[in-house]
Structure 1
Amino acid sequence: MSLPTNPASPDSSLPQLRVDGQPVPHRVEGRPAAAEDNTVLLSSDVDLSAQAPWATAGFAVVPGLPGGLQAALQAGLAELLREALRNVGCAVAPDFDISQYHRVIGDDAQRHLAVIAQTKAYELARLRVAPALLEALVSAACGQPVRAYNPNVQEAVFHLRIVRPHRADQNPLHRDAWLPRYRHALNIYLPVAGSTAQSSLALVPGSHHWPESAVERTAGGAIFHGVPYTVPGVLRPARPLELMRPNPGPDEVLVFSPYLLHGAAANLNPDATRVSLEMRFWRA
């Protein structure tokens, strides 16, 4: 589904969001959750950003894996996406540029969802580098030992996020921590292809310490620009929402708290799909 070209009208009940100073459309539907109080989720949860020099902002762009390892990781992730495309009947070459994913899939919703079903969760063994290397990188970034194992659901996985240009492929504005299985964690965003200042993940700095009353959200999964998602989404804010794209380079990694409000910003690249690695870590 393509995104509208203009933000929602000012008289709508939807938040008027800005990303790097530019207004963005954010059409969210869903049953409102019960009125929230001034509870701050991180006041009672494990805060893996608390000991980091970036604790106030809730995120940092840090150097990636050294010595060609990050490039090897990205090459392996690109091959996973080519594999997923072949599995749905797309005959892509071994050197197919995955930033051109949208040209192969187009607006074929069924085939796109079939790709997403494959890429939404992989066992860590499918990584081309040892998971311990990423665990060490994140541990150094946050100042305490972490591991890529989710004790909430007893699983160790990673995800590929695929966001086509000018389509509603990105999540609505949300906190991952609204889903209990993602509480007490720390996230990374690692660019694989098409990640630019016009497409990379957007977030609201410092919002991991905001009370729940700062936004009204959906009770369950939100419908964002007509697309259903499992995560709740922001319906209305109680304060202005100014998002930014930290935009890590290909040799960098964005580390951020899942309690930050993030998402919502479309891929505005003219002709490149954004592909990124998403992985979560918990206290070791």
Structure 2
Amino acid sequence: MTPPDPSAAAEPFNQLDLNGQRVAYQVEGAAKAPTDEQVLLAQAHDLTARAAWAEAGYAVVPGLPAPAQQVLQAGLAELLRAALRAAGCAVAADFDITQYHHIVGDDPARHLAVIAQTKSYDLSRLPIAPALLEDLVSAACGQPVRAHNPHAREAVFHLRIVRPNRADQNPLHRDAWLPRYHDALNIYLPVAGSTARSSLTLVPGSHHWPENTVERTEGGAIYHGVPYTVPGVLRPVRPLQIIRPNPGPDEVLVFSPYLLHGAAANLNDDATRVSLEMRFWAQQG
């Protein structure tokens, strides 16, 4: 392996190229001490190992049968409407959740009141049987999985809400920098407003990169002034090829949490992006 170039690491890193458009990238936090050539995935249960897409670390696969996919997306949209109402926003039963940003505006307290509800739901509140998604992900990776975290002893899902031209997205990171997400496999399922200008971004193949190829924060990063629990990339040593796989409304993005991903700025003109995020682990026994 070619040793990292110290001069490259010293260059400022304050912009990302997303589909040919430059966007600001501002991460703060104490830098983690330099690491060796350890590859985190090499010490994990690699749920990508048997997949045809193991090298890239991600795949866009067909979603659930249309009726189930539609029930899921409609039910998740209603969860967001309920969260808005609980935060004091009057929204109709048919409120278009892509217009979320118009309802909350730039009121940080109201937005955080919604996020406090949507950042984690017990799996029992998923609008469809979790086994449907477990079967889909098992088929995609070639190993039986469950939506149950053996490290944290929990079964949850998340709704991610990213307003257009706001810093709602987390920084570039590996989920696996947090021990509770070791050995997992992630999905990103579009609910509303997910487009080629707003969907999740990732760096193909980076799940196989040694830890000394990125400089990151020691603890949770501050990204554009917003604190996150996950560490964030301060600067890479290797060039980053950041892409948006952009699954359609009838598809699901399956990806390794060891990939560098995040910083998915919503560049839509007037549509909030809402997505289901969920993790899976090898089925035990």
Give me the TM-score of the superposition, normalised by structure 2.
0.94
Q: C-alpha distance in 1, partners of 2:104/2:263?
A: 22
Partner of 2:204: 205
**1:38 correspondence with 2:42:** no
**What is the deviation of 1:33?**
0.4
State the distance in 2 between where 1:214 and 1:24 align: 22
How much is the aligned-residue C-alpha RMSD, in angstroms? 1.1
- Aligned match of 1:236: 235
Q: Deviations over 1:138-195 (max 9, x none)?
A: 0000000000000001000000000000000000000000011011000000000000
Aligned partner of residue 176 in structure 2, secondary structure? helix
Distance (Å, rounded) in 1 between the aligned partners of 2:276 and 2:73: 9
Aligned residues of 1:192 and 1:250 also touching (Cα < 8 A): yes
The one-letter amino acid of 2:70's match is: A
Residue 119 of structure 2 aligns to which amino acid in structure 1? K
The answer to whether 1:151 aligns with 2:157 is no
CA contact (8 A) 2:200 2:244 kept: yes
Q: Deviations over 1:49-99 (max 9, x none)?
A: 010000000000000000411011000000000000000110100000000
Question: Structure 1: how far apart are the matches of 2:192 and 2:66?
Answer: 19
**2-structure distance, mates of 1:59, 1:205:** 7
Residue 7 of structure 1: aligned partner: none
Residues 14 and 28 in structure 1, CA contact (< 8 A), matched pair in contact too: no
Q: Measure, in 2, the Cα distance between the counterparts of 1:183 and 1:107.
A: 35
Say if 1:259 and 1:59 are closer, same or farther in 2 by CA, change over 3 A: same
User: 1:239, CA displacement in angstroms?
Assistant: 1.1
Q: How does 1:42-191 map to 2 (within 5 A)?
A: 42-191=41-190
- Between the two proteins, what is the percent identity of the paired residues? 75
Report if the CA contact (8 A) 1:21-1:242 is conserved.
no
Distance 2:106 2:271 in 1: 15
- Provide structure 1 residue ranges, at least 5 long, that are not aligned to the other structure: 1-10
1:82–1:98 CA contact under 8 A, matched in 2: yes
Match status 1:273 vs 2:282: no
Structure-1 residue corresponding to 2:7: none
Distance 2:273 2:56 in 1: 24
Alpha-carbon distance in 2 for matches of 1:99, 1:67: 21
CA shift for structure 1 position 12: 6.6
Distance in 2 (CA, whole Å) between partners of 1:18 and 1:46 is 32
Distance apart, 1:25 and its partner CA: 1.3
Q: Cα 1:238–1:252, aligned 2, differ >3 Å: closer, same or farther? A: same
* Amino acid corresponding to residue 123 of structure 1 in structure 2: D
Match in the other structure for 1:260: 259
Deviation at 1:13, TM superposition (A): 2.7
Kindly tell me the number of residue pairs found equivalent between the two proteins: 274
Distance 1:12 1:164 in 2: 30
Task: Indicate conservation of the 8 Å contact 2:122/2:155, yes or no.
Answer: yes
- Cα distance in 2, alignment partners of residues 12 and 198 from structure 1: 27
Partner of 2:5: none
Question: Secondary structure at the residue paired with 1:82?
Answer: helix
Contact 2:66 2:250 in 1 (8 A): no
Name the aligned partner's letter for residue 155 of structure 1.
E
